[in-house]
Structure 1
Amino acid sequence: MPTHSWRDALKIYSSPASIALLLLGFAAGLPYMLVFSTLSVWLRESGVDLKTIAFASLIGLTYAFKWVWSPLLDQWRLPILGRLGRRRSWLVLSQSLVAIGLAGMALCDPKESLSMLISLAVLVAFASATQDVAVDAYRLEIAENESQAALAATYMAGYRIAALFATAGALYFADWFGASSPTYQYSAWAGTYLLFAMLMMPAIICSLLIREPNVPEKTQQAAMSFGIKHQLISVIVLIVLLISVPAMFTQFYRSDWHSLATESAGLVDLLMNDRPFLRALMYTLLTGLCLSAFGRRGLAPVLTPISDFVQRYRWQALLMLGLISTYRMSDTVMGVMANVFYIDMGFSKDQIASISKLFGLFMTLFGAGAGGLLIVRFGIMPILFLGGIASAATNLLFAMLSGMGADVQMLIVTICFDNFSSGLATTAFVAYLSSLTNLKFSATQYALLSSIMLLLPRLLGGYSGTMVERVGYADFFSLTALLGIPTLLLILLQWRRERVLASRLPDAKVLPEPEQP
């Protein structure tokens, strides 16, 4: 366990790496909010119908599948820009595309060129998701595991400030530029998006000035063992597989199986006239092709980082994946119903917004900073356990609030503790994920692990409304608190195993380190 002093722990926040991560976090938060939250307001004000706005929100799927093309960032050195280094080149490219995309959006009036505006928003989302992968890989390679939490905290601080700036701040600037007029003013939104495009410049300058991570050349060569042709084939095969598998089951479900069981010519009708069944057969063939020997060879750039993870940790990988997939379950499932709960309790929108922005933002940043400091001082596993307890326990405050009605003071207490625990837990979890990655495949492995983190909580979160309708808010929040117990047990098992290894090999690393040539 680390024995750093408090002074040593605080030094990490004044390092050049922390300042760089603060700027990179700001650059990551701007485009995310501008293509979702703020864009929806712009579209609605211009007269776009709700159905189209909801369809435009599907742009968010880009972030959910960023791990699909993350191997490119590990294994492909960009032409010309590649002279900056493997990580800096991707940062500069993605940030430049974000700035260009935002400027392009500013030149498109939804009333006249909605399709072009949406296309540019997709470009911004794709470039922003790529920037996220590049920043995570850069952070993993510039510091040791004990410093990752502090770097994650500064990144989160920049991200949260940018998120507030790109939502409430963007609406303020739009009003200032003329959007407060009773009639729709395109120039107000154009000026706003041009301003935010210019705000990407500090991040681009930062990416040009920061040092390239000092990763051994042999490690980089090992990561870039696949040619660009092979990498592009891998991305295409993976996209086809991700589309064809769910589509296959959906079309089989829609097929007319009843006629097959009741009519003598049912099979002929299925083969000749049932379009869902024919589409299901097509998707089955595509799935089979992707899983064939040819498809598996094409998926090698993605499968290699996965097999590396399994080979390094063997059976322990199951324990780690269980911990990763459940760690954020308690607060994620609860969070789906949080805003609805506030409204149902009788709080006004102004109260919710002001308390969330004022107290919520401050406490999230405070929790993240405290998490980074504590991990440098005491190590990852104790703070990971503390974050798990805090995330689950704060749900009980929501259960208490449900019996108190619209009590503003209790709302402040609840939001403060909830956001503090969220910041603390997120920072600890990022440090834990960072400790598991191999520098050869840092972009790919971290993108995959962070995707696994949200998969199960998001699926369960889809049933949160049904749970509230059946048991009520008080019992719902109590149940979400209980969801944290399995995670705490998994952390204790992992922590115990690390302490046993540390006692046997006092000079060895607790977790297997990425292979260094």
Structure 2
Amino acid sequence: MGDAQAEKKKKPGWRTVLRSLRNRKSGFMALFGFAQGLPPALFLGTLYAWLSEAEVDLETMGVFSLVGLAYAFQFLWSPLLDKVDIPGLSKLGKRKQWIAPMQLIVGIALLVMSFLDPKNALGWFSLLAAVGAFASATQDIAINAWRIDVADEEATLDILSTITQMGFRLAALVGGAFGLIIAERIGWPQTYLIMGAIMLGIGIASLFAPDATVSDDTAATAAANADEVAELYNAGEVTEKVRTRALIAVGVLWGWAIITVVVFMVRSMTATPDTRPDVTLFTTTYGPLIVLATVVLPAFIAAWVARQKREGRNVIHAAPGVGAGHTVKFTDHLYRALVLPLVEFVGRLGWSLVLILAIVLTYRICDSIWGVFAYPFYLGELGYTGDEVAFASKFFGVFAIIFGLALGGWIITVFGRMFTLTLGAALAAATNLLYADLAVGGPAMQAASDAIGFSALIGWMAPFGGEGLPRLTFTIFWENLAIGIAGAAYIAWLSSIVAKKYAAVQYALLASLTLLVGTLGRGALGEMIEVKGYHYVFIFTALIGIVAVVLCVLEWIRETRAGAKSGVVQPDPQIAAE
């Protein structure tokens, strides 16, 4: 009887979720998720409304889209966050030393922008937006690593990942729709003043967040870092010659990528409207090359190093240690920061990394590509008004995503991460068929909405809407619910496959791939819409979604087999890598 009651208590469900939510780490995770979502909304979305009101020309507005590159290419400086301490701030914690200062910088940037006239001080305005976006992207790297570091049996990685997304979506609503509403009443400077104060408040609160275990003694921390470097000289590790070759190759590739992005940004910020390079053209042309240089080719180099080590070729056989003839070099630290995370990733996952990258490239491709064409579809193709679209997507849709995230977190707790990941992929693919119906008039959506009383509810909530608003809202509701479930599972899965020791670099690489693939596919999808129409495109994206479902099933099988071999039902690779 006692065993049965104990088993009942252990059974996952809403009690498990609620217990996790009461954890102090979950509260800070919600705060951090909000801090991740607010700056992009203010620097990449709402800001354009302010610039339009200030009568800034469209060509000049194009400069501000450059700040989005900070989010797309954030992995380029992610190695710094794993291995570099900020002087005087390292005692805050491994991650907090980056999180809190970056949040304060974002807050200060927003505050200063609130005192400027964008038309008369455009140079300062663009500089502050760029600095704020860079600080925002940097805090994202640190927060993603923090989530992986602090997860435990109560505040699980799955729950923390769900909370992250909920905070992010809520911030997008506050910085987007609510920001527009506030600005309409009190003005843009006052709105950005409020948003800056919020970020400053979060930055101060972050100082009290828990962090990964960090020594309070700076000397002890330095000694620990030296010990990690010394491990490179242990028996069985590759020789210094192999490390040097790998470092030079990866360093040249990453160096080219960083220089390319920096040169483009400098040229764009200093050019006239007539000579300014095209951001979209740069992303579609150089984006794949940068991914090739920073991810694909370094992965092959890391595989070569891992193979040398596994086969015992070019490895150290006798290990006298650093103190017996070896001196810690700058290149040793650079190798640990840049190459070792890739070697660990490839060495641990092997050919399974190909499957993982395939999921990363396909799982969120439908909604990441589709986002740009949503408004042209709603406003141009279907003829809805701005108020109707704002109600359906910005208000009803955002709350549908938050509900989906909560539901996804519960499903993960009860049925597991891989079940939810696969379910999310299937639902995301299916919702494209709902849009395909909407593209031909939405007869099925209207009938379903009428049948369950949804149309009557929307008629009461939005009396300003036309007869087609219920079917639009109904479609967006189900799509956003699916996005919420899929988002909760995807972030949890992505967090689970990286090693804690190299979380910043490995997660940033995977997350950036997810972001870049959507950007690179938009040109082709736009052309397809022009030629084939929206109905055809939604059928096509549904088929892409089926590919993601198949890949998720294969990954589920792989993880199950890996768990069976190790005697664990569902192993967490990040723990296995410790």
Give distance in 1, aligned partners of 2:372 and 2:50: 25
Corresponding residue number in structure 1 for 2:431: 394
Q: Which of 138, 152, 157 lines up with 2:146 in the alignment?
A: 138
Asked if 1:89 corresponds to 2:97, the answer is: yes
Letter in 2 for 1:368: L
Sort the Cα spacing of 1:225 and 1:384 in 2 relative to 1 into closer, same or farther, 3 A: same
Find out whether 1:426 has 2:508 as its counterpart.
no
CA contact (8 A) 1:149 1:371 kept: no
Please tell me whether the aligned partners of residues 388 and 425 of structure 1 are also in contact (alpha carbons under 8 angstroms): yes
Q: Partner residue of 1:199?
A: 198
Give the match's secondary structure for 1:462: helix
Q: Distance in 2 between matches of 1:79 and 1:418?
A: 46
Deviations, residues 416-470 of structure 1 (Å, cap 9, x unaligned): 0100100110110111111111111111111001112233333222211211122
Distance 1:475 1:408, change over 3 A: same
**What per-residue deviation string (whole Å, max 9, x for no partner) do you get for residues 32-90 of structure 1?**
12122222222222222110012221111111111111111110111111111111111
Other-structure match for 1:166: 175
Deviation, structure 1 residue 246:
13
Report the CA distance shift for 1:215/1:494 in structure 2 as closer, same or farther (over 3 A): farther
Residue 132 of structure 2 corresponds to 124
Question: Structure 1 residue 5: deviation in Å?
Answer: 4.1
CA distance in 1, matches of 2:258, 2:563: 41
**Identical residues among aligned pairs (%):** 37
* 2:341 maps to 1:305: yes
Deviation of the 1:299 alpha carbon: 6.8
Query: Structure 1: 5+ residue runs without aligned partners?
Result: 178-187, 249-286
Cα offset for 1:362? 0.9
Aligned counterpart, 1:20: 28
Aligned partners of 2:121, 2:251: CA distance in 1, in Å?
Answer: 31
Residues 499 and 574 of structure 2 are in contact (CA less than 8 Å); yes or no, is this contact kept in structure 1?
yes
**Aligned 8 A contact 2:37 2:167 in 1:** yes
- Aligned pairs, number: 460
2:464 maps to 1:465 = no
1:96 maps to amino acid: L
For residues 210 and 33 of structure 1, what CA distance do their matches in structure 2 show?
24
Where in structure 2 are the equivalents of 1:168-317 lying within 5 Å?
168-177=177-186, 188-214=187-213, 221=225, 225=229, 238-244=254-260, 300=335, 301-317=337-353
Does 2:379 correspond to 1:379? no
Query: Aligned to 2:25, what secondary structure does the other structure show?
Result: helix
Unaligned runs of 5+ in 2: 1-9, 216-220, 231-243, 265-292, 302-330, 443-466
After TM superposition, give the deviation of residue 215 of structure 1 in Å: 7.0
Q: TM-score, normalised by structure 1?
A: 0.81
Give me the whole-angstrom Cα distance separating, in 2, the residues matched to 1:345 and 1:223. 63
Give the deviation of 1:342 after TM superposition: 1.1
Partner of 2:356: helix, strand, or coil? helix
Deviation at 1:132, TM superposition (A): 0.8
Is 1:499 aligned to residue 560 of structure 2? yes
Aligned residue in 1 for 2:52: 44
**Cα shift readout 1:181-239 (whole Å, capped 9, x = no counterpart):** xxxxxxx433222221111133123211111224797997389759xxx99xx999735
1:325-404 alignment runs, 5 A limit: 325-343=361-379, 344-404=381-441
Partner Cα distance (1:5, 1:161) in 2 = 24
| 1:124 Cα offset (Å) | 0.5
Q: Is the Cα–Cα contact under 8 Å of residues 498 and 573 in structure 2 kept in the other structure? A: no
Q: Go from structure 1 to structure 2 and tell me whether the alpha carbon gap of 1:119 and 1:449 turns closer, same or farther (over 3 Å shift).
A: same
2:86 is paired with a residue of what secondary structure? coil
- CA distance 1:513–1:447, change in 2 (3 Å): closer
Pick closer, same or farther for the CA change 1:221–1:436 going to 2, 3 Å: farther
Aligned residue number for residue 79 of structure 1: 87
In structure 2, C-alpha distance between the alignment counterparts of 1:111 and 1:218, rounded to whole Å: 49
8 Å contact 2:72–2:515 — kept in the other structure?
Answer: no
Aligned residue type for 2:480: N
Provide the rounded CA distance (Å) in 1 between the counterparts of 2:124 and 2:223: 42
Match of 2:536 among 466, 475, 478: 475
